[in-house]
Every structure is written in structure tokens, then in C-alpha cells.
Chains A and B, each alone.
Chain A
Amino acid sequence: MNAPNSFRTGPDDNGHFGLFGGRFVAETLMPLILDLETAYNEAKADPAYKAEMDAGLKHYVGRPSPLYYAERLTEHLRAGAPAGMGAKIYFKREELNHTGSHKVNNVLGQILLARRMGKKRIIAETGAGQHGVATATLCARYGLECVVYMGAVDVARQAPNVFRMKMLGASVVPVQSGSKTLKDAMNEALRDWVTNVSDTFYCIGTVAGPHPYPAMVRDFQSIIGTETREQMLEMEGRLPDSLIACIGGGSNAMGLFHPFLDDPGVRIFGVEAAGHGIPSGQHAASLTGGRPGVLHGNRTYLLMDGDGQIAEAHSISAGLDYPGIGPEHSWLHDTGRATYISATDDEALAAFQLVAKLEGIIPALEPAHALAKVADLAPTLPDDHLMVVNLSGRGDKDIPQVADILGTSL
């Protein structure tokens, strides 16, 4: 495939990133997503909206998030590397945002948009609960009704976040259909939206779904990469050499990557969840182990069987446990601009513990997948190589689950 002149101009008017993306929704929802697109385009052009966003990001979310040199992790990995090798590792500290992850960047944008559109009721899907918590938080802040759909399996393994959402005044609906995880939560949210068309705004948590969601969520998350760019220029006087982030739907990764897509010197790595290993079939690595298909409003790489039935994903991390991926990632994969690799449950768990001990930062299990691959890649790169990993969330929510896996009863 010929490389396009720019990787940053997508999607086209119909929401396509090459083969991927689109608007594969029921007719009932079509007028709603067209309205949303119009409202978003108007908001983007309105300085008042931008001012409101900027103020919210600064005073409520706590941005900018720091870019932090992870000195001890860097030294630890250099110790196992040949002389002169071992990349210099930076963490983009999205876990320090209010609510504990990058999710709030997007939710702020969508909730301010919902207010402009006069919508009073917000629905969301959530996997790990981070997007649900962020949505419940902004709904509390702006006095909006909030209903969060969450797979029953995830409700069980992410109990702290379920309680947080309830504390924040949201209704959490455990979804019992299908595999009872994130994809089923998204189905149920779509069913709610198709039923409550007049007053409800669907706040999607990742760079997936029908156009304009993948582009809109990416735009809101791009603050991550935009800040990283400025911060790295300030700290090192140049751009980073590589970026790395975990991918479920892929919003934290897209937010970090997008501002760098047209900088050919910046290598880009996305890390999917390999679960028990790709050969086991029990994983959530759509690009590594899937094929193009159509689900949840967009064409993208999906895990499915030969009949087009969607497969159940598996990951230790509820936030990555999704059989699809944002369509722009599928396009970046096919064009070769980004490289997609995967980390297993065990590798993520090891990285979770390593970074806690070396850096005093307990990462969420989701970015622990990216950290696991940092541990593989950094020793193979020269010591003047600048690598940024998106520390997309903090691990507090995972403490009960990890304790259980490690055989500690709390």
C-alpha cells in the first residue's frame, strides 16, 4: 500500500479510514449520529466551547499531566542490556488525572457537547469501569442523569469501580447477555439509545462506534500527545523516538499517537492483550488474531469465527477485554504506520509488580501491558533512544483482583 501524504487527515466525510470505520447502525440511530456530527462540528468551531474545555481540563481534570522520566525502570532495564543499550523511558502520567485515567479527557468533551445539545440523560458502556467512573463523575459535576452499562462479569471483577459509580449517583446496569463483558455492555447501551432517542446522549468511551465517535474521541484524547510533544521538546529538546501504549478499543493510544503520525522519525507501538497467549485462542488481540468485520457501527479488525459470529475476548484486564479495536488503528496497522504487538496476562502482571516496586507507581493492568513490552523493547534500543509509554490509568481498581491472583486475601 502506498503511504498517504498525511496520516492525520482521516476520516473522510463518511467516517472512513481507508476500508475501516463507517456508520453501520440501525436507521433509528442514523438521524441521531448525524445530529451529533453536526453538533460536534459546530462546537469545534466555537471558541466558547474550546474555552470551556480548556478550563475543565485545567481546573477539574488537573491537566497538563506530567511527563516523567522513569529513571529506576530505565536503569533496571539497562542493567540487563548490552553496553550502550537501554532506551530512556518516560511515563505520560494520565493516571494522575481526576478519576484515575485518561478516560476523563474524552468524557469532559462529550458531556460539554451533550449540554450544548440539551440532552439530560447520559448513557455509557464500561469495561474496567474507568470510563463509567469518568462519565458518572462528569454527570455528577453537571447534574445529569447517568446510566452505565457494564457486563456482569466485569461488575464482579471491578467491584471498587462499581461502588465508585454508585457513590457518584450513577445507575449501574449489570449486562447479562452474551459474554457479559464490554462488547455486551456496548450492545445494551445501543439498545438503550435506540429506545430513548429524544433525551439521551450516548457517551462512548473509546475510539470505536459509528462515525463521528472514532474521530471525536480521538480529538478529545489527542491532548495526551499534544502535551507530550511540548513536554518532550522542553525536557530533551527533541521529539521522542518511540511511543507505546496499550490497546483495547484504543483511545489512550490514539490520543498519544495522533499528534505524531506525520513525524516519520517517531516509531509507534500499540500493545494488545494476548491473554493466555495468541495460540491459546483466549486473548483480546484483534489486530494480531482477528480479521476485518463489522460490529458496533464500524468496520474494523474483529475476533470472530468463520461464520462471522463475534468471539469472546479474554484478558486479565477488563479494560482490554474487547473483541474489536478502533477503526483508525486498523488503518494504521494496514498502512504500516504503527506496529501492533501483544502482551500476555502473565507479562502484564509481572510489569504491574515491577513498576510498582521500582517507580512507586501502581499502574492499572491495562497500561501494564504496554509496560511489559517496554521491558522487552527498551533493552534492544540505544541508550539515547527516547521512549514514551502512556501510563493511562492507575491500579487502585485492580488491587483486589491482583491480590486474589497472587494468593493474598484482603
Chain B
Amino acid sequence: MSTRIETRFRACAAEGRAALVTFVTAGDPDFDTSLALLKALPAAGADIIEFGVPFTDPMADGPAIQAAGLRALAAGQTLAKTLAMVKTFRADDDTTPVVLMGYYNPVYVYGVERFLADAKAAGVDGLVVVDLPPEEDDELCLPALAAGLDFIRLATPTTDDKRLPAVLKHTAGFVYYVSITGITGMAQADPTAVGTAVSRIKRHTALPVAVGFGVKTPESAAAIAANADGVVVGSALIDALRATLDSEDRATPATLPAVTDLVGRLAEAVRGVRRQAAE
């Protein structure tokens, strides 16, 4: 049986286009708004949802996602609540893949086995855990694969050809190519360099390759989409959300539309690009 992630990438490929992967932080700025946003993303044009698990010390994230996590935590978000949100979402949507993205400590403290069981039951499809390189595969990657959850690995510009096979070895679902050396939401990815890197990764794997960390605008999403199977946009959505909050970081009537409008424009941009080498 195909997973939701496989099915979705295949469907996008059949349309000759890249998938739009949208990142928002669970619980930002509050549980209800975040759940409403999660539910609204597929209709707005998101093909795959990355749902950020807030952490106090997100060492790979820039100011936008750092602040989003702290807003969510201040509003009482926990890993259990994040799983509950996915479960609620899954009751209405059985096709859009949901990938949890975050750092290891909240999962470790929750308990790996319990987490995997609860995540699977909630309808989570995959995990991106930033601080678990292949050297730590025994921690969560191998148990996750055994539990039927994709463990999606990050490949970066510093991952050379010698190291790439080790990075890809237990990667499942798709490969997340980090297009810049740096943290989320800061530098802009160079589409030419990204194209070269994606080709390099594809020589080593049949998995789809999604590109993120330096994609900010519909224009840059379109440029990346020409050379990748998926485009991940995160900080730009968080920035759009933050701009609508009131002085006490509370949601306003403008919050939801601001994010879904941007998702719509990103989706349009990604769909407007024919893949040069759709497989």
C-alpha cells in the first residue's frame, strides 16, 4: 500500500509539477487558530503540511520560527496537543500528508515508543528531526521506520558525495534538501546551485527531493520548483502570520486569511512551472 506521502508526490509528478510543502508551527499563536489554519492549508494549495513542534531552543531556526515556537509555548502548546491537532485534522482529511518537524528533546521526554504509537494513531506520516543525524539513527529513525512512519532526513550543502549514502540510507518519504548553509528564513536560495544539488542527490536515491530553508516568495518558489520535487516554505508564512497579530501576539480576523492567501500565491507559482525533468 502506498503511503500518503508517496501518493501525493506521485500525483504532483503526474501533473508535471513540484509539490508545495508548507511549514507552520503547531499552536502558533494559539491552539484554536493553529488548528483552523492546519485545516485550511490543503484548500489553500498546500500539498504536504510540515507541522512544527515548538521547542525552546531551536538551534537551526532563524528569528521568525524561534518566535513562533515561543508564542505557541506561551499559549500552552505541548507535544500531546500537537498530536491531538493532527488527529482532529485527520478526521476530515485522509489524504494530505502531515510531517512533524522539530527537535529531539520533546520526543525523547515524551518517550520514543509512546510517541511513535501516538503519532501513528493520530495520522502523522513522517518526521523531520533536525538534531538527529545518521550517527544517532538508533534513537528515533530506526524505531520510526519500524513503526511505519517515514523518517525524512535533511541533506545540506555540506553533505558531500562521500557522506550522502549514509544520510540517505534510512531516509524514507522524501529527502529534505537544505538549500543554504544557515538557519531558516535568513538567506535566499540560489536556484542554479539548488538545481545542481538536487541532481546530485537524485543520482543517489529514487526518493523525491524537496527543497527548503531559503524559499521566501512565490517567485523564488517557482524558481526552485523547476528543479525539485517539492518546495518547502516556512518562515515566510510565519512572517505573514506574525504581521497580523495584535500588540499582545494574539490572533486577529486577518490572521488566517493572511497565511492562506500567501499559500494560494505560492501554490499558483509552483503550479505554473512545468518540471523540466518530471520523471
Is A166 part of the binding interface, using a Cβ–Cβ cutoff of 8 Å? no
From known contacts A22-B136, A194-B182, A309-B73, infer whether A31 and B158 are also in contact, taking CB-CB under 8 Å. yes
Q: Name which residue of chain A comes closest to B183, CB basis.
A: A191
Is B63 part of the binding interface, using a Cβ–Cβ cutoff of 8 Å? yes
Identify B105's interface contact among A31, A191, A195, A295, CB under 8 A: A295
Is A406 part of the binding interface, using a Cβ–Cβ cutoff of 8 Å? no
Chain A residues with Cβ below 8 Å from B182 are 191, 194-195
Binds A, one of B86-94, B106-114, B236-244, B247-255: B106-114
Report how many residues on chain A are interfacial, defined by Cβ distance under 8 Å: 37
Chain A residues with Cβ below 8 Å from B217 are none
Per-position 1/0 for A279-317, Cβ under 8 A of B = 000000000000101111101001010111110000000
Binds A, one of B30-38, B51-59, B270-278: B51-59
Interface residues of B in 120-141 (CB under 8 A from A): 130-136
Contact A308–B59 (Cβ < 8 Å): no
From known contacts A27-B155, A27-B167, A195-B182, infer whether A308 and B130 are also in contact, taking CB-CB under 8 Å. no
Chain A residues with Cβ below 8 Å from B66 are 177-178
What's the Cα separation between A299 and B105 when bound, in Å? 9
The 7 closest A-B pairs by CB, nearest first: A308-B109, A308-B106, A195-B182, A28-B156, A308-B105, A24-B131, A307-B78
What's the Cα separation between A195 and B181 when bound, in Å? 5
Is A242 part of the binding interface, using a Cβ–Cβ cutoff of 8 Å? no
Identify A28's interface contact among B58, B103, B181, CB under 8 A: B181
Contact B105–A26 (Cβ < 8 Å): no
From known contacts A25-B131, A178-B56, infer whether A293 and B178 are also in contact, taking CB-CB under 8 Å. no
What's the Cα separation between A236 and B183 when bound, in Å? 55
Contact B56–A26 (Cβ < 8 Å): no
Contact B136–A187 (Cβ < 8 Å): no
**Closest-CB distance, B108 to chain A (whole angstroms):** 5
Chain B residues with Cβ below 8 Å from A299 are 108
Identify A14's interface contact among B79, B110, B135, CB under 8 A: B135
A-to-B contact residues, CB < 8 Å: 14, 22-32, 177-178, 183-184, 187, 190-191, 194-197, 291, 293-297, 299, 302, 304, 306-310
Chain B residues with Cβ below 8 Å from A296 are 57, 59
Q: Name which residue of chain A comes closest to B180, CB basis.
A: A195
Contact A195–B78 (Cβ < 8 Å): no
B interface, by DSSP: helix, strand, loop or mixed?
Answer: loop
Contact B178–A308 (Cβ < 8 Å): no
**Closest-CB distance, B66 to chain A (whole angstroms):** 6
**Closest-CB distance, A82 to chain B (whole angstroms):** 46
Identify B133's interface contact among A25, A302, A310, CB under 8 A: A25
What's the Cα separation between A26 and B156 when bound, in Å? 9
Q: Name which residue of chain A comes closest to B156, CB basis.
A: A28
* CB-defined A-B contacts under 8 Å, sample of 19: A26-B130, A26-B133, A27-B133, A27-B154, A28-B178, A31-B158, A31-B160, A194-B182, A194-B183, A195-B183, A196-B181, A293-B108, A294-B108, A296-B57, A302-B105, A306-B109, A307-B106, A308-B79, A309-B106
Contact A26–B108 (Cβ < 8 Å): no
**Closest-CB distance, A297 to chain B (whole angstroms):** 7
Per-position 1/0 for B144-188, Cβ under 8 A of A = 000000000111111110010001000000000010011100110
What's the Cα separation between A50 and B70 when bound, in Å? 46
Q: Name which residue of chain B comes closest to A22, CB basis.
A: B136
**Closest-CB distance, A16 to chain B (whole angstroms):** 10
Q: Name which residue of chain A comes closest to B133, CB basis.
A: A30
Q: Name which residue of chain B comes closest to A29, CB basis.
A: B158
Contact A293–B167 (Cβ < 8 Å): no
Identify B131's interface contact among A197, A294, A307, CB under 8 A: A294
Chain A residues with Cβ below 8 Å from B63 are 177
B-to-A contact residues, CB < 8 Å: 54-60, 62-63, 66, 70, 73, 78-80, 103-110, 130-136, 153-160, 163, 167, 178, 181-183, 186-187
Of residues A25, A190, A304, which shows the largest number of chain B Cβ atoms within 10 Å of its Cβ? A25
Chain A residues with Cβ below 8 Å from B110 are 307-308
Chain B residues with Cβ below 8 Å from A26 are 59-60, 130-131, 133, 154, 156
**Closest-CB distance, B32 to chain A (whole angstroms):** 19
Chain B residues with Cβ below 8 Å from A310 are 56-57, 105
Contact B109–A293 (Cβ < 8 Å): yes
Chain A residues with Cβ below 8 Å from B155 are 27
Identify B135's interface contact among A30, A183, A187, CB under 8 A: A30
From known contacts A178-B56, A195-B181, A296-B59, infer whether A24 and B163 are also in contact, taking CB-CB under 8 Å. no
Chain A residues with Cβ below 8 Å from B56 are 178, 309-310
Q: Name which residue of chain B comes closest to A312, CB basis.
A: B56
Identify B136's interface contact among A23, A178, A194, CB under 8 A: A23
Chain B residues with Cβ below 8 Å from A27 are 133, 153-156, 158-159, 167, 178
From known contacts A187-B57, A197-B181, A294-B131, infer whether A24 and B154 are also in contact, taking CB-CB under 8 Å. no
Contact A190–B59 (Cβ < 8 Å): yes
Q: Name which residue of chain B comes closest to A191, CB basis.
A: B183
Identify B104's interface contact among A24, A177, A183, CB under 8 A: A24
Of residues A23, A194, A308, which shows the largest number of chain B Cβ atoms within 10 Å of its Cβ? A308
What's the Cα separation between A183 and B155 when bound, in Å? 26
Q: Name which residue of chain B comes closest to A307, CB basis.
A: B78
Contact B136–A24 (Cβ < 8 Å): yes
**Closest-CB distance, A236 to chain B (whole angstroms):** 45
From known contacts A26-B154, A190-B59, A195-B186, infer whether A307 and B79 are also in contact, taking CB-CB under 8 Å. yes
What's the Cα separation between A304 and B55 when bound, in Å? 11
Identify A31's interface contact among B59, B79, B159, B187, CB under 8 A: B159
What's the Cα separation between A295 and B158 when bound, in Å? 22
Chain A residues with Cβ below 8 Å from B160 are 31
What's the Cα separation between A195 and B186 when bound, in Å? 10
